[in-house]
Copies of this chain bind each other. A is one copy, B any other.
Amino acid sequence: MSVSRNPPTRGRPKKLDREHVLKTALLCYWADSPTDVPISEICEKTGASKPSLYREFGSDDGLKEAALDAYDELVSQRRYDILAGDQPYDEALEALITHTVQDRKKADVPNGCLLFAMRARREEFGPLTLAKIDQLRENSLEQYRQWIDRAKSNAQFRRDIPTDTAALYFDAQMGSAMRLQKEGVSNKVIGEILRTAFSAFG
């Protein structure tokens, strides 16, 4: 169960599996609520001791930061592929919606979005997590902006709408969709809502 490491160093070999802890933490935060999962719960679920987690992540804040980062790596690649790809705007939009309202049970991941859930609770996090939240949020806005600008230059998107505003709009709609999903609204209805929202650009 010890973690792979080369070259093997001296001292007692490390038992804590960082990736396993991160994945467990991220799933707890995601499925439940990021501010309602005590470190002790992560410890129980992974079999790690509290001091081990503190050695690895420094603090609760550090663990949340690392977990959010791991979440992003796990989840945002698909969105990036869609937004950075070279398919036409309409197709990308449809792919985005389809991806957003995909059945989470089939993919075996929780409903909602950890990043949006954390943004809604900004005040409750430490500086590291806060910085990570802001960074990922900015990444996401920037991806929308570049996508929109490319669509504009291909005459596939209305030029009378400022890119910044449109990016905020996309972000806000996706946030609403994730919240509705978490509240239990069906993906079918969420899809209709998203299509309605983006029809405003058509």
Residues on A close to B: CB < 8 A?
Answer: 32-33, 35-36, 117, 119-121, 123-124, 161, 164-165, 168-169, 172-173, 175-176, 179-180, 183, 185, 189, 192-193, 196-197, 199-201
Q: Could you tell me the dominant secondary structure of chain A's interface residues?
A: helix
A196 near B123 with CB under 8 A, answer no
Cα separation A30 to B68 with both chains bound (whole Å) = 27
27 sample A-B contacts, Cβ–Cβ < 8 Å, listed by A number = A32-B123, A33-B121, A33-B123, A36-B123, A36-B124, A117-B120, A119-B183, A121-B121, A161-B196, A165-B189, A165-B192, A165-B193, A168-B189, A168-B193, A169-B193, A169-B196, A169-B197, A172-B176, A172-B179, A172-B180, A172-B193, A173-B176, A173-B197, A175-B176, A175-B179, A197-B197, A200-B200
Cα separation A151 to B136 with both chains bound (whole Å) = 41
Copies in the complex: 2
B197 near A33 with CB under 8 A, answer no
Report the nearest B residue to A172, measured CB to CB: B176
User: Given A172-B176, A173-B176, A179-B175, A200–B196 Cβ distance below 8 Å?
Assistant: yes
